[in-house]
Amino acid sequence: MKLLEVKNLNVSFMVEDEKVHVLNDVSLDISENEVLAVIGETGCGKSVTGSSILRILPENANISGEIYYNGENILEMPEEKYRLMRGKEIASVPQSPSTSLDPLMKVGDQVAECITVGNRINGKEKATLKGVVNGIFSKLKLPRENEMYDNYPCELSGGMRQRILLSMGIITSPNLLVVDEPTKAIDWVLRKDIVKELKALKDEMKCAMLFITHDLGAASIIADRIAVMYSGEIVETGPADEVLNNPKHPYTKGLISAMPSRGLNVMEGYMPSFTDTFDTCRFFPRCTEKTHMCDTQIPKSFSINEHHTVKCNMYCGGN
Amino acid sequence: MLLEINNLCKDYSTGFLGNRKIHAVDDVSLCINEGEMFGLIGESGCGKSTLTKMILGLIKPTDGSIKYNGEEISNLGEKQWLPLRKEIQAVFQHPQMTFNPKKNLYYSCAEPLRLFDMCDKSSEEYLVREMTECVGISFDQLKKFPHEISGGQAQRISIARALSLNPRLLICDEPTSMLDVSVQAQILRLLMQANKEQNVAMLFISHDLEVVHAVCTRVAVMKEGKIIETGTVDEVFENPKEEYTKKLLNARIEI
């Protein structure tokens, strides 16, 4: 059985009495101890997917579809029950480290809070807890590990704050970790280290991960499988090296060849707005490989092989 | 030689009573030739932005000289700077913050033309239309306000605005670090095209070595306020001399 299975997830938001359809039939799954990277441009719906799994979407969101975690549909679970799971079994590392931490609380206490969840603890327990937190800090190679506990967020750099958030995510040793853009605020020199640390931690704790990123390099290091998202749809899913080295969907090809090391080729046009309606493939206006079918047909998902699926009319005959 | 920097220093005082000195930029010398793409790499906090601010005359250096076209510009007053502003333009990391949030984008695009009396009222609209269309922004978009457009669009408009004055030196301070790969490719192509067609020299600051490798011809590596290595891109990337440059090169992720 899969650890997480998302089936036909549709999410729309009511914005000023207008329905904005953001996620369209998103299906994905994650096995135990597996990292699925979701890649795509800003505003393609990656973070909304993560938030729906964590059930932290705002109130104007309209969700339909099914999300199974260990066989249970978490969208139908009562809030009380899900709250006990969130943070413990399904943890998250949010985006923007500068705004996700409490500015008036010591970072160590914030990390420890994930375990105590507001329970009062005595001095002895506090000392052991501090040891646990410091242990995590040293694993993430935070400098001055013994003093780090007493720092406030404003005293730390962006990369350090990002690692504090990571330690909040992993301290409860969750089964599933939703990581949103962990390399965005981090300096180029540190980026590779952080991703490698994350990978090592994942192997050690045996947790599965939903790794949301637009950084193809980071995804190539950590991911077992990659799902490519475009305009609220998943257009290609497959094993990481297969997707990166032998992409099938024209959008994936374009994305990879836009990288400086792969030729810096420009994809013409821009992602459509979510308020548009679609009667063709969403990538149709920008596609360089369109065929006569693309005018009339919205593509379905086709399997290239057992693990690799593509949503493009080019592969309708099986390939 | 278009820009020549010799032994430039900038100290900041911090600490109680301001008696602790921090050497943000320490004895930096470099030169940029006409029409050249010059890259400057280094990690955050190494003094790259302080250096650009001094070239733009926003802060005064503690010591050293900056020569533009053979003339010393580090000690110019604000009035004397005005004609030079037309020749030295900049593109910054957070494009949305460089626009006036209370005015629409058309106003921001037309402002430099008005300031330098480059056109009369009737041809202004035509010029603005032309300059935004060459960066792929339709004229209707300019009715919007800065917060209503995406980062990539804002960056393209800010490049168009900088190039509208036909500058001879463009300072790009991490122009693509906040953008996606696909948008990054568009922006970099745009800059390379401007360099080719208008012969604009560029000081291209980035911490992303892949980008510098793809765009620049010469490159300098900066560490803790000092320039530790300079050379052509091929020299530095193929055969780095300093340990630190090797470390930077090791941090790149090959896929």
Could you state, in order of their start, the residue ranges of all structural domains in chain B? 3-94+167-250
Distance from CA of B171 to the nearest CA of A (A): 20
B32 forms beta bridges with: B3
User: Nearest to residue A47, comparing CAs of A244, A273, A210, A207?
Assistant: A210
**Does pLDDT of A175 surpass 80?**
yes
- Residues A25-46 have a mean pLDDT of 91
CB contact under 8 A, A264 and B188: yes
d(CA A143, CA A113): 21
For B253, the closest of A220, A254, A267 (CB atoms) is A220
Residues 6+ apart with CB under 8 A from A144: none
Residues in chain A: 319
Torsion sign across C-alpha atoms A165, A167, A169, A172: negative
Interface check for A318 against chain B (CB to CB < 8 A): the answer is no
What pLDDT shows up at residue A118?
62
What pLDDT shows up at residue B186?
87
What pLDDT shows up at residue A29?
93
**Total-model pTM:** 0.86
The distance of Cα A51 from the centroid of its chain, to the nearest Å, equals: 9
Distance from CA of A51 to the nearest CA of B (A): 21
Backbone angles phi, psi at A119, to 5 degrees: -70, 145
Name the more confident of A146 and A228.
A228
CB contact under 8 A, A191 and B253: yes
- 3 state DSSP class of A151: coil
* Average model confidence (pLDDT) across chain A: 88
The distance in angstroms from the start CA to the end CA of chain B is 38
Instruction: Using CA coordinates, name the residue in chain B closest to A184.
Output: B178
What pLDDT shows up at residue A279?
84
Percentage of residues in chain A having pLDDT higher than 90: 41
A99 forms beta bridges with: none
Q: Where are the beta strands (DSSP E) in chain A?
A: 4-15, 18-30, 35-39, 61-69, 72-73, 90-93, 176-180, 208-213, 225-230, 233-239, 301-303, 309-311
Question: Within 13 Å of residue A252, how many CA atoms lie on the same side as its CB?
Answer: 26
With a threshold of 0.90, tell me whether the complex ipTM lies above it.
Answer: no
What pLDDT shows up at residue B43?
81
What pLDDT shows up at residue B61?
93
CB contact under 8 A, A260 and B150: no
Judge contact between B184 and A217, C-beta under 8 A. no
**Does pLDDT of A121 surpass 80?**
no
**Does pLDDT of A318 surpass 70?**
no
Residues in chain B: 255
Distance from CA of B128 to the nearest CA of A (A): 21
What pLDDT shows up at residue B14?
78
Interface check for B56 against chain A (CB to CB < 8 A): the answer is no
CB contact under 8 A, A220 and B255: yes
Radius of gyration of chain A measured on its C-alpha atoms: 21
Interface check for B255 against chain A (CB to CB < 8 A): the answer is yes
What pLDDT shows up at residue A23?
93
What pLDDT shows up at residue B176?
86
Give the residues of chain B that fall short of pLDDT 50: none
Percentage of residues in chain A having pLDDT higher than 70: 98
- 3 state DSSP class of A246: coil
For B182, the closest of A220, A244, A254 (CB atoms) is A254
DSSP structure class, residue A265: P
What pLDDT shows up at residue A107?
92
Distance from CA of A25 to the nearest CA of B (A): 24
According to the CATH classification, is domain B3-94+167-250 in 3.30.413.10? Answer: no
The distance of Cα A275 from the centroid of its chain, to the nearest Å, equals: 24
What pLDDT shows up at residue B238?
92
What pLDDT shows up at residue B254?
76
Please list, residue by residue across A71-108, b when 16 or more beta carbons sit within 10 angstroms of its beta carbon and e when fewer do. eeebbeeeeeebeebbbebbbbbbbebeebbeeeebbb
- Contact pairs from chain A to chain B, CB under 8 Å: 77
What pLDDT shows up at residue B156?
87
What pLDDT shows up at residue A212?
94
**Does pLDDT of A9 surpass 90?**
yes
In this structure, of A60-64, A117-121, B72-76, the range with the lowest mean pLDDT score is A117-121
Judge contact between B165 and B89, C-beta under 8 A. yes
